[in-house]
Structure 1
Amino acid sequence: MLKHRVLVIIKFIAFFTVLFIAIQFLPVWLLQTNPPLRNEPVWDSPQTRAIARRACFDCHSNETVWPLYTRIAPVSWLVTFDVIRGRRHLNFSEWRRAGGTKGEPGISADEVIATIAKGDMPPGSYLKMHPQAKLSAVERQQLMQGLAASLK
């Protein structure tokens, strides 16, 4: 009976080890790019850009920092697709105001500021791995005021 349990556990571990190795061959990390900056906002101050860079740019710009762990599946899948989704929604490197250009929808400065004011950004899941992105109340207020001046 004990031998059977040990054998089942060994098979279980072997299966998941092989599966873990196999999923590494799905190179989602090839999508981890940083295209050139195309249309960055005119920032009202270097401080606003610095706070935005620390709290927002990893998901909402073409200046994403891709740590080594983002090349290991399944973490690579989660991070890569979060960044792709974040850039689609708001990309400070390709800033477009509401209405956009060439028919592309934009996001308004008011939407960005409201999301920050509600505390939805940066998200808690991101802050767990990036505590330096956590904003104090003063920094959050500075960022919202700076974005209001920069993005309108």
Structure 2
Amino acid sequence: MPLSWTMFSMKKALRNLFFVVVLVFIGIQFIPVNKTNPPVENEPNWNSPRTKELFTRACADCHSNETVWPWYAKIYPVSAWIAHHVEEGRSDFNINEKNYGHGVDESAEAVEEGWMPLESYLPMHPEAKLTPEERKELAAGLKATFGLD
């Protein structure tokens, strides 16, 4: 009889733990996360429509004020992680800010070397994956657009 009582107690404890986890998950959804797009102050004078198209496809969600927030950006803690990446990306290099940010100098190299777009971004945004030819094309376009070496 003690064995069945122990099993009953374990099942009850697991059920209670499950409910606590669910309640905590629901509760953390109310933590505010900034998912706004500031006004566009600037638009680069793109060297070509193709450069703009490649940049928009692979870079704009994190490096512009025109982020497209996906549905899963509404679910905490994923929303906090995404918002942090966007905030960090915008602070490094933002095409919609007047001075672009300090990362503009490294933008072409980041694309050429494969640092950008981030590997963590690609599974949910397969359209952002650039072929080697597209990498070269975008890097050359960024160099021409922003007057880099």
TM-score (normalised: structure 1): 0.88
In structure 1, C-alpha distance between the alignment counterparts of 2:58 and 2:115, rounded to whole Å? 12
Aligned sequence identity (%): 44
2:39 maps to what in 1? 36
Structure 1 runs (4+) greater than 6 angstroms displaced = none
Q: Which amino acid aligns with 1:86?
A: G
Q: CA deviation at 1:151?
A: 0.6
Q: Which amino acid aligns with 1:26?
A: I
1:103 maps to what in 2? none
Q: CA deviation at 1:51?
A: 0.2
Q: CA deviation at 1:145?
A: 0.5
Instruction: Report if the CA contact (8 A) 1:36-1:62 is conserved.
Output: yes
Q: Which amino acid aligns with 1:139?
A: E
Q: CA deviation at 1:149?
A: 0.4
SS at match of 2:11: helix
Cα distance change, pair 84–17 in 1 and its aligned pair in 2 (3 A) = same
In structure 1, C-alpha distance between the alignment counterparts of 2:7 and 2:108, rounded to whole Å? 60
Range moving further from structure 2, 49-58 or 64-73: 64-73
2:147 counterpart of 1:142: no
2:53 counterpart of 1:58: no
Determine which of 65, 71, 76 is the counterpart of 1:73. Answer: 76
SS at match of 1:52: helix
Count the aligned residue pairs.
142
Q: Which amino acid aligns with 1:21?
A: I
Q: CA deviation at 1:119?
A: 0.8
Range moving further from structure 2, 48-57 or 38-47: 38-47
Instruction: Report if the CA contact (8 A) 2:65-2:96 is conserved.
Output: yes
Instruction: Report if the CA contact (8 A) 1:44-1:150 is conserved.
Output: yes
* Higher Rg: 2
Aligned positions of 1:76-95 closer than 5 A: 76-95=79-98
Q: Which amino acid aligns with 1:135?
A: L
Cα RMSD for the two superposed structures: 1.3
- Kindly indicate whether structure 1 or structure 2 has the higher relative contact order, using CA contacts under 8 Å at least 6 residues apart: 1
**What are the ranges of 5 or more consecutive residues in structure 1 without an aligned counterpart?**
98-105
Determine which of 19, 33, 41 is the counterpart of 1:14. Answer: 19
